[in-house]
Structure 1
């Protein structure tokens, strides 16, 4: 199996003014050089910009192309990998304003609300627009001969500030119901060219999510992890209703989890994990929760915060 790799600046909406930089490494047929059905799509949301450190590890793992290459090594050749950057930056601060409607000027959330399903809508639109901009077509013959005709699974990862997108997605996942997008300004599935390489609607995208990885997330204000009991209750109930499994993995370093100046990060993480674990006991094993600590004996620094991307254990 070969791969197509590249970085493009993609409009969030088809004719929108705001663009996100996206790096992708996608499975292609070695014979026809067209996209083929992957096992999964792994989508990584990056954090704030860090420049001028002079540290080669930080510089390497701040680069979107390097991130997708690391993800390829983690997930394998049969998975498409995507790394997405916020459309807007206030200085170094990433502002995912199309994904979350209640952000302040530093990109910190005031709340997570499902109304309009902005995160899932933006992701579906970006992936579709990316394939159109890159002029990537689908190998229908290989598609039809695939052993599985179902949509590939989706794995979501959020690094540092990128964790806010995960919280918004989890909120939308908990509250989404079919026909929830009745607002005519919101895209319906027919507005996106459909294939089974990427989701063609908000519903198919949310239904395809099987894993959510929080990667050393943290903010300079509360909101790094979800702590709303109603939202978590709905998330826990969803796999049982759908007869599916959902896996949450919380990855962290002392840089975030041991920061006494921002003690709320560890407190929120613990509360989030406990709520998921409590609900998981009622889900007949369909909710799985894991916590993994990296560089536990190291002195907290910025390098370990980025180096966790290379050390990530995703299995």
Structure 2
């Protein structure tokens, strides 16, 4: 199937005056060269900037379009739309996902994860919708409405690499908050209504209810917060899944660069605690919550090279 592939710059500010998210996208096209409806949307959130290393692998996987090609290769024979998202703002090398995580400090590190107002979900649905509109304008076509699948069958896979894992944590927190709101009816209603462009959910609740997988890819911070360790959040997530028609799989992928770092031992401790909490809830979830841990390159010494090498090596199945 043919694709439209390129880079789109979008802003959440009124009038599109910036700051801009740089988003590399590869979208399915129908035989009539209109945007086709995917069965999967895969969204990859990048980490801090790494420049001038002289390492060909790091340089390749620091480029959004090269990263997009690698991501697509993981979904062979799938009707997938792929999106690689850079933070809209950097403080030096530090990625600042402030629109999605309002509590981040000057280094882009979250002080906490607060679900009020669904800042991550609302930001993502807004800028992806803007991307779709811009791409439609470039194609000068509408969306193919042939063989449109039921909305409930369209899934979203969210991947966070390095600091991009903080966006994953924020989204998990936002889904968890649905358990303590009387929203089960509105979620299902909006899930049906939200597909006005049929490419991607256009409301926060519809987007959150479409997420089927979270992938943490060698995440880590220079402070706590790389993994969720709040028992109440994980418990509420489990309760929400049990009481709704929603299943989520968690994949925790790591290398010695993060999980064996003697100078940042909290990363492994947080990972182990989150893994324990997820497994506890999985046992009570009637099969709606699944969790898997994968360790890569364990026979090598920790390095920045391996931190990027995992992107090539990661198994998403």
* TM superposition score normalised by structure 1: 0.92
Hey, what's the Cα distance between the residues in 1 that align with 2:154 and 2:59? 32
1:202 match: 204
* 8 Å Cα contact 1:47/1:161 also seen in 2: yes
Q: Which of 125, 140, 143 is the matching residue for 1:139?
A: 143
Hey, what's the Cα distance between the residues in 2 that align with 1:2 and 1:232? 40
Q: Which runs of 5+ in 1 are unaligned?
A: 181-187
Hey, what's the Cα distance between the residues in 1 that align with 2:209 and 2:151? 15
2:169 match: 167
1:82 match: 83
2:34 match: 34
Q: Is 2:73 aligned against 1:47?
A: no
* 8 Å Cα contact 1:151/1:197 also seen in 2: no
2:63 match: 63
Moved more, 65-74 or 130-139: 130-139
User: C-alpha offsets along residues 105-128 of structure 1, whole Å, 9 cap, x if unaligned?
Assistant: 000010011111100000000100
* 8 Å Cα contact 2:158/2:211 also seen in 1: yes
> How far apart are residue 245 of structure 1 and its match?
1.6
Residue 266 to residue 36, structure 1, CA distance change in 2 (3 Å):
same
2:6 match: 6
Aligned with 2:74: secondary structure? helix
* 8 Å Cα contact 2:158/2:168 also seen in 1: yes
1:243 match: 245
* TM superposition score normalised by structure 2: 0.91
* 8 Å Cα contact 2:39/2:149 also seen in 1: no
Q: Which of 134, 154, 157 is the matching residue for 2:156?
A: 154
1:99 match: 100
Number of residue equivalences: 306
User: C-alpha offsets along residues 48-86 of structure 1, whole Å, 9 cap, x if unaligned?
Assistant: 000000000000001110111111110124111100000
* 8 Å Cα contact 2:195/2:201 also seen in 1: no
> How far apart are residue 139 of structure 1 and its match?
3.4
User: C-alpha offsets along residues 26-55 of structure 1, whole Å, 9 cap, x if unaligned?
Assistant: 1111x2111111110000000000000000
> How far apart are residue 269 of structure 1 and its match?
0.3
1:259 match: 261
Hey, what's the Cα distance between the residues in 1 that align with 2:295 and 2:183? 40
Q: Which runs of 5+ in 2 are unaligned?
A: 185-189
Hey, what's the Cα distance between the residues in 1 that align with 2:8 and 2:148? 29
Residue 33 to residue 13, structure 1, CA distance change in 2 (3 Å):
farther
Hey, what's the Cα distance between the residues in 1 that align with 2:194 and 2:12? 13
Moved more, 248-257 or 127-136: 127-136
Hey, what's the Cα distance between the residues in 1 that align with 2:68 and 2:14? 24
1:21 match: 22
1:112 match: 113
Hey, what's the Cα distance between the residues in 1 that align with 2:156 and 2:286? 22
